[in-house]
């Protein structure tokens, strides 16, 4: 329980206790008490109906008990008359006199109420003082300071990224032993910017620096500088660097730098809003009029394109270290780190898992291992096997299965043809990513999924690969045209992705003969202010040429998809029948069905598919095993059209 809440409860309990002490006895004291007049008391005493009387000479109150057991009270003269007291004693009434109250006894009830009121006012003043202290300390930095013992993360806990760790560790060594570098005239970098996609471990590298550094380490998030009060962000920046100077040499880590480091003057607020003043103060502290010695600023961001140029110049962030997605040699140690302490089956080979997860970040790999463990629990296994990693990879890449969704038979058949169209083109075309799995079970937001997966890391894409990708995405739409002669809404996402890819091919990558070696930037600006002030940097004629080229590329790939699917119509139908029967088909099985329907291997050099994790690394099957009796393939009910078949006209929009 928080101390403030504890004090509040104690104060309420104390007030309730005092009120109880003052109020509760009055209820019991007045129980069965009868109020009578003074003359009635004298008359009852002469009749022998009064047993006792207690006379208080200070206030004239007379209390006692009647012969019937009733307690009474009345007000008499002050002081009591001696004749009437004699009358009471003559009639056998036990008469006693109460001592007059002292001054302390008289003032005690008032003192108690004064104390209660004083305690209440003291509590209110403390609350107000706390709020005032909070307002006065709003400009203080919220940075957390770490020492060598906390956190425990070191560079040994960060798998891979040897180049990144060597550059960061060099800064740590400079702070630990600066004389080694100063003797040769080397200056310490003032700032290091970690740049990379989300989930690549930039913050973990900073935690490792905190664990390795033998100097004070201050950690703060970019959003901690922002408050509703004007000038708070700049004040916190000043306080952060002032604290770091007192403990120099020191390291300051700023996470999510883009939250305060965005370009100045890009929004509607002009150049005097709170965020820009915070950035101005940080620029001044890092390399302003007063030089800062012995302080290294390490920042992390996944949006370097929105940072202010003044922040990135040498003298502020001298080094920009790219933390990319891990390659094969880095994914293996990352998987081993996350799998440490988990009961793995003897059949699990982490190298095979690493080879089957290209393009995954460190966070994706951690999620992959965790999902595999959850899948092992669901199947009541005490160890994690390869099938758990296979299911985990499908869940991460394709989404969770929606078993509760019920599709009509007509919808299910159309989805099967749609996904089979994608799968046939993904297998037949040369430069597409290898086919991994096809399913018509709804996953995530999709009703069906055709999954391709590169078997190796790719850092650049050739034009033929892009064109084959466009053609493959046209497969679902073209398959519906071939089979049903009309279209559905199932290709909406495919068309959107294809249009965006074709637009980038024409406008940014110079892959159009009509446009040539020119690049026209995207209109998608980061800031509202730039978007409002943006003017198109090409003419209307060029805009029309760009639109025509985008349309030409998409229509060419649609015609190409029609030709390929027309040639492999039997494979399309064979794969659709298998999908309707089994709902999910592996890439190798889909390749076998397409080859059998074609009558010979589509790829004589070998099957172009991604194997499951349990099959990666095994000997590839021979051609005879892949094509088992091609002449015995069952004839299709719809024979393949001639190569010069013309597609049906699209319905008018």
Question: Which residues are designated catalytic?
Answer: 419
Burial of 28 (0-12, 13-18, 19+ CB in 10 A): exposed
C-alpha 548: how far from chain center: 41
125, 129, 140 from 132: Cα distances, Å: 10, 5, 14
54, 538, 546, 550 from 543: Cα distances, Å: 111, 7, 5, 11
Q: How far apart are the first and last CA of the chain?
A: 66
**Token pair of 76, please?**
């008499």
Pairing type for strands 191-195 and 295-301 reads parallel
CB atoms inside a 10 Å sphere around CB 227: 17
Residue 298 in contact with residue 253, Cβ under 8 Å? yes
Q: Strand runs (DSSP E) across 385-516, as ranges?
A: 435-439, 449-452
Taken as a whole, the chain contains a residue count of 653
In the β-sheet with 295-301, what is the strand arrangement from edge to edge? 144-146, 217-221, 250-255, 295-301, 191-195, 319-322
Residue 248 in 3-state DSSP? Answer: coil
Listed in sequence order, the residues at least 6 apart from 146 whose beta carbon sits closer than 8 Å to its beta carbon are: 210, 216, 217, 218, 219
| Nearest-angstrom CA–CA distance, 32 and 50 | 16
| Nearest-angstrom CA–CA distance, 98 and 79 | 12
C-alpha 72: how far from chain center: 75
Peptide bond into 151 cis (omega under 30): yes
Would you put residue 293 in left (φ > 0), alpha (ψ -120 to 50) or beta?
beta
| Nearest-angstrom CA–CA distance, 231 and 227 | 9
Residue 532 in contact with residue 265, Cβ under 8 Å? no
Angle between helices 540-567 and 475-484 (to 10 degrees): 60
DSSP string spanning 358-388? TT--HHHHHHHHHHHHHHHHHTT-SSB-HHH
C-alpha 650: how far from chain center: 44
C-alpha 122: how far from chain center: 43
Which residue(s) pair with 144 in the sheet?
219
Supply the Cα-derived Rg of the chain in whole angstroms: 42
């Amino acid at each position: 329980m928080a101390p403030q809440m504890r004090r509040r409860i104690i104060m309420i309990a104390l007030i309730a206790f005092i009120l109880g002490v003052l109020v509760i006895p009055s209820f019991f004291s007045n129980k069965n008490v009868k109020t009578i007049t003074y003359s009635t008391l004298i008359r009852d005493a002469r009749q022998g109906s009064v047993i006792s009387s207690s006379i208080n000479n200070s206030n004239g109150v007379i209390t006692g008990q009647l012969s019937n057991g009733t307690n009474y009270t009345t007000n008499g003269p002050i002081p009591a008359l001696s004749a009437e007291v004699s009358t009471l004693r003559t009639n056998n009434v036990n008469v006693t006199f109460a001592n007059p109250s002292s001054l302390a006894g008289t003032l005690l009830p008032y003192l108690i109420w004064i104390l209660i009121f004083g305690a209440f006012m003291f509590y209110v003043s403390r609350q107000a003082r706390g709020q005032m202290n909070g307002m006065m300390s709003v400009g203080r930095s919220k940075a957390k300071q770490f020492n060598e013992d906390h956190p425990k993360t070191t560079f040994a806990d960060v798998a891979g990224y040897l180049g990144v760790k060597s550059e960061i560790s060099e800064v740590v060594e400079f702070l630990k032993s600066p004389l080694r570098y100063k003797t040769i005239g080397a200056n310490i970098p003032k700032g290091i910017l970690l740049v990379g996609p989300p989930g690549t471990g930039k913050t973990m590298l900073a935690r490792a620096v905190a664990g390795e550094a033998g100097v004070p380490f201050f950690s703060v998030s970019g959003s901690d500088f922002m408050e509703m009060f004007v000038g708070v962000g700049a004040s916190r920046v000043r306080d952060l660097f002032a604290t770091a100077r007192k403990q120099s040499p020191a390291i300051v880590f700023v996470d999510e730098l883009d939250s305060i480091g965005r370009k100045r003057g890009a929004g509607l607020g002009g150049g005097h809003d709170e965020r820009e003043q915070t950035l101005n103060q940080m620029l001044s502290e890092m390399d302003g009029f007063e030089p800062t010695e012995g302080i290294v600023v390490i920042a992390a961001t996944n949006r370097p394109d929105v940072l202010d140029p003044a922040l990135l110049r040498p003298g502020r962030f001298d080094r920009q270290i790219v933390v990319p997605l891990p390659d094969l040699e880095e994914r293996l140690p990352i998987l081993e780190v996350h799998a440490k302490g988990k009961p793995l089956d003897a059949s699990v080979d982490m190298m095979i898992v690493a080879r089957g997860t290209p393009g995954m970040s460190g966070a994706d790999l951690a999620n992959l291992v965790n999902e595999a463990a959850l899948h092992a629990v669901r199947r009541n296994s005490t160890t994690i096997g390869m099938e758990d990693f296979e299911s985990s990879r499908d869940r991460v890449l394709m989404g969770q299965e929606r078993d509760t969704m019920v599709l009509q038979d007509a919808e299910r058949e159309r989805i099967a043809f749609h996904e089979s169209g994608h799968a046939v083109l993904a297998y037949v075309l040369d430069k597409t990513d290898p086919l991994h799995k096809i399913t018509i079970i709804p996953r995530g937001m999709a009703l069906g999924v055709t999954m391709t997966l590169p078997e190796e890391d790719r850092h650049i894409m050739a034009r033929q690969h892009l064109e084959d990708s466009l053609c493959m995405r046209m497969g679902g739409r073209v398959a519906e045209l071939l089979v049903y002669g009309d279209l559905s809404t199932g290709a909406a996402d495919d068309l959107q992705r294809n249009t965006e890819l074709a637009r980038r091919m024409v406008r940014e990558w110079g892959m159009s003969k009509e446009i040539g070696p020119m690049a026209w930037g995207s209109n998608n600006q980061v800031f509202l202010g730039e978007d409002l002030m943006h003017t198109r940097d090409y003419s209307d004629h060029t805009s029309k040429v760009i639109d025509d080229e985008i349309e030409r590329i998409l229509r060419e790939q649609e015609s190409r998809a029609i030709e390929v699917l027309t040639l492999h119509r039997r494979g399309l139908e064979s794969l659709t029948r298998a999908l309707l029967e089994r709902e999910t088909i592996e890439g190798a099985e889909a390749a076998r069905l397409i080859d059998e329907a074609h009558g010979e291997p589509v790829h004589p050099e070998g099957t172009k598919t991604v194997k499951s994790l349990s099959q990666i690394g095994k000997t590839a099957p021979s051609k005879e095993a892949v094509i088992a009796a091609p002449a015995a393939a069952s004839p299709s009910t719809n024979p393949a059209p001639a190569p010069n078949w013309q597609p049906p006209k699209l319905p008018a929009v």
